[in-house]
Amino acid sequence: CSQGTKERISKMFNKVDQLSVSSYDTAWVAMVPCLDSPRLPYFPQCLNWVLENQHPDGSWGLTHHDRHPFLLKDTLSSTLASILALKKWNIGEQHVNKGLQFVTSNLASATDMKQHNPIGFDIIFPEGMGNAQDWQDVMKYQRQNGSLFNSPASTAAVAAHLLDSNCLDYLHLVLQRFGNTVLLSFVIPTAYPLDIYTQLCMVDSLESLGIARHFTSEIESVLHKTYSCWLIKDEHTFLDIATCAMAFRILCMHGYDISADVLAQYSDREGFLSNTLAGYLKDTGAALNQNTRLLTGRFLPALVHYAS
């Protein structure tokens, strides 16, 4: 690992929240109406971004340069959300028509099993064509920061229907964090905050590559932060299945004495083991502590079923 590479990776630990633009989330935020003037957008800067960032083929999202042939489902979701945003405010008729042409010509990709399936696509894409959600029921998942699952798109969808002040405060926070008032660029990431999960992924990757020894101080800092969050039952760690499972595994592998009881809340959810535990609670060959053995014993039948 060269010195230059080490320095670049080390700096990445402090830039984990600098996420790329999400056309999908920006479009959803653009759909939120004003509290006192429901015929006007609450975040017109996001609506302007949608107007200014359609691709020549009529799509929104990844450019042709960045778009893999098997990522069309992601592009379809972003394009459909952008069309909905423009239609909601009755602007950009040409943009809408081009977008609809793109969706129509690529609709077969929505059911193509070879295409990469973004998380929740089977729910998100049909929901973009209708309105079948009980929005009041969704509010039970609202977090202390006002968001739904730390997702700007999910939070904006709720805000657009309920005009919840805490949802709006969260969206304001995201815009302040990622907006550029000089360039008049107001774009939204796909999730915020995401620092704990992203840093844990970095630690996991460095250990898998066998170069973790070059980043001892950075990894220790992440472990200390994660352990502190675990002790106070931080909602950003415990309420997200992937973050919770990865935090548990990495802390255990580094000798932290933590309980597996927190994972019991997910044990009865169909598909949890195959989709999450099998990925994040993998045995990397190190000695497992008592909590890990307990967890493995509790979930062993499901893990065996998944492996077969």
Give the residue-averaged pLDDT of 258-287.
Answer: 55
Q: How far apart are the C-alpha atoms of 289 and 287, rounded to whole Å? A: 7
pLDDT of residue 77: 86
Structural domain span for residue 209: 195-307
The pLDDT > 70 percentage for the chain reads: 70
180-217 per-position pLDDT tens digit: 654 455 678 888 887 788 889 889 999 998 989 999 99
| Domain termination residue (choose one: 150, 178, 206) | 178
DSSP three-state, residue 293: helix
| 251 and 293 together in one domain | yes
Give the rounded distance of the alpha carbon of 180 from its chain centre: 22
DSSP three-state, residue 142: strand
| 166 and 245 together in one domain | no
Domain count, the chain: 2
| 169 and 214 together in one domain | no
DSSP three-state, residue 180: strand
* Residue 82 per-residue DSSP state: H
Contact between residue 32 and residue 41 where contact means Cβ atoms under 8 Å apart: yes
Torsion of CA 23, 24, 27, 33, to 10 degrees: -150
Amino acid (1-letter code) at residue 32: V
Give the residue-averaged pLDDT of 96-114.
Answer: 81
| 121 and 170 together in one domain | yes
Contact between residue 155 and residue 167 where contact means Cβ atoms under 8 Å apart: yes
Residue 54: which residues within 8 A CB-CB, separation 6 or more? 60, 82, 95, 98, 99
| 225 and 118 together in one domain | no
Note if the pTM is more than 0.85: no
Q: How far apart are the C-alpha atoms of 48 and 52, rounded to whole Å? A: 6
Q: Is residue 301 part of a domain?
A: yes
